[in-house]
Amino acid sequence: MSGAALTLPQVRWLGTARLTAGLDRHQRLDLAAHTRVHPPLAPLDRDALLTLADAVDLRGRGGAGFPFARKARATLATADRTGAPPVIVVNGTEGEPPSAKDKMLLARVPHLVLDGACLAAAAFGAEEIVIGVGAGGPGEISVPAALDERDLPCSTRTVCLPERFVSGESGALIRGVNGLPVLPAPLKARAADGGTGGVRRRPTLLSNAETWAQLAIAARLGRDGYAEVGTAAEPGTILLTVNRPGADPLVAEVPAGTPLGPVLDAFGLAPGEGVLVGGYHGAWLPPLDAVGAPLSRAGLAGLGATLGAGAIVPLPSDTCPVGEIARVAAWLAAESAGQCGPCRRGLPDAAEALAALAAGGAPPTAVEDARRALGAAQGGGACSHPDGTARFVLTALDVFAQDVDAHLSGPGCGRAVRGALPLPRAEGVRLEVDWSRCDGHGLCAVLAPDLIRLGPHGYPASSTIPVAAWQEHDARRAVNQCPALALHIQP
């Protein structure tokens, strides 16, 4: 298969290349190139594989960092109890704009990911392997091509899912595989338990693409070889997506525990106004803290941050931090499933307060309004989306406090919003208010309470309102029933 048919993220590494081995010579490792770069993989039985995963403290690399062996044991316990063989799921969806590491793995080294999944499937007696990929992404082409090249221990299929932020949540992914809407389940159910939480109600072991690739590396190197790099508590390497202003992101492999400063230096970047670590569910670090921040779970936790999926975004000095945060907060609110209170009210309320702050002339309570809305949203959602969004915004308000004060006390920081934080091209619709017609009836706020807020004089507080997919029905109802014909849907 030609690499020209794929969008191939650029790759760099500091120190030893493991996941990225061979990519200095090949655009993509087909099976022949893969077997030249990586030695043969000996099969492991169930106990040996679990022991290895424990020994290297293999954890999920999709954001939550849950221990792989604990998740596998829970899945196997259900399989033993029910007699239903498990299903192995590779989460290769990546709907977060600043993250590209899993796209890189599926596009350029798909056999390394499949090695880990097949190793587990054989050891655990799996019934099926399912690889979830983003529709329209490189995995849609690369993974089926790789499957055609190799022998597989069980039935294996690729499922293409929409590239939305919440599509990568484990429950949403499994619902998509089962033919249901790709949204987090309203009621939490563990994939390991099967039932409504599993693929076809089978006990399901789900991990993201990097986790499966790391398992394949650990199986080849063994515990001691795997621990030759990294820290004592967190051995091995990690994949980062390093975002660069005005350029495509780089995927970098570095030893766990590497300070962030040298990583930025290696790619010609500065910490700027602050650095986002962990992507749009991560946390902001001030420049001085960012330079010395160890890129490990424990190191970042000590700074109040999280490694998450490994996305790194330094914010340049020539853009307005408040405006950048407001853009992403609005996008995160629109990307929610809209199934529970935190996403229906908390995130939109916070986004609206931030938009007013960025525009200037916000009420003195704007920051506290945002904090209050996000505080109420934390811990109450059906998934982690409200909590991650709150962490992103609340740490930004602290790190960019000087800019926030400038927007509260006057016209703002004086800098344009340059779109330094990556977002996908806008899709969907927006609701617009024709002020020449609006009479302040207030009916629109009754018909679409999660979308339209009224100002102190009874008129809509905003003239242009982004409409999330779950809000579109109410938006069209408000348009159709507006007595003054003052509302319009625009693409």
Q: Where are the beta strands (DSSP E) in 256-384?
A: 274-277, 283-285, 311-315
Sign of CA dihedral 30, 36, 37, 42: positive
The token pair that represents 326 in the structure block: 């407001």
Instruction: Give the pLDDT confidence score for residue 7 in this predicted structure.
Output: 62
**pLDDT higher for 111 or 387?**
111
The token pair that represents 354 in the structure block: 């931030």
pLDDT tens-digit series, residues 60-109: 887 778 999 999 999 999 999 999 999 999 999 988 899 999 999 999 99
Instruction: Give the pLDDT confidence score for residue 233 in this predicted structure.
Output: 94
Contact 354, 183 (CB under 8 A): no
The token pair that represents 237 in the structure block: 């390497």
End-to-end CA distance of the chain, in Å? 38
Question: What is the pTM assigned to this prediction?
Answer: 0.88
Q: Where are the beta strands (DSSP E) in 116-236?
A: 128-134, 155-161, 204-208
- H or E stretch including 241? strand 237-242
pLDDT tens-digit series, residues 233-248: 999 999 999 999 888 8
Identity at 130, one-letter amino acid code: V
Identity at 472, one-letter amino acid code: E
pLDDT tens-digit series, residues 211-240: 999 999 999 999 999 999 999 999 999 999
Closest CA to 286 of 265, 311, 304: 304
d(Cα 311, Cα 308) in Å, to the nearest integer? 8
Banded model confidence at residue 127, pLDDT cuts 50, 70, 90: very high
* Helices within 227-296 (DSSP H only): 260-266, 287-292
DSSP 3-state assignment of 11?
Answer: strand
* Helices within 68-203 (DSSP H only): 68-82, 101-108, 110-124, 139-149, 170-177
d(Cα 230, Cα 238) in Å, to the nearest integer? 9
For residue 147, the tally of other CB atoms under 10 A from its CB is 17
Do you know the residue count of the chain?
A: 491
**pLDDT higher for 227 or 411?**
227
d(Cα 374, Cα 379) in Å, to the nearest integer? 10
Closest CA to 321 of 259, 411, 399: 399
d(Cα 61, Cα 105) in Å, to the nearest integer? 13
Distances (CA, A) of 349 to 220, 313, 343, 376: 50, 25, 9, 11
Q: Which domains does the chain have, with CATH numbers?
A: 3-224 (3.40.50.11540), 238-315 (3.10.20.600), 321-409 (1.20.1440.230), 429-490 (3.30.70.20)
Encode 346-379: b = buried (16+ Cβ within 10 Å), e = exposed: bbbbbbbbbbbbbeeebeeebbebbbebbebbbe
d(Cα 16, Cα 237) in Å, to the nearest integer? 8
pLDDT tens-digit series, residues 253-295: 999 999 999 999 999 999 999 999 999 999 999 999 999 999 9
- H or E stretch including 169? none
CB-neighbour burial class of residue 16 (10 A; exposed 0-12, middle 13-18, buried 19+) = middle
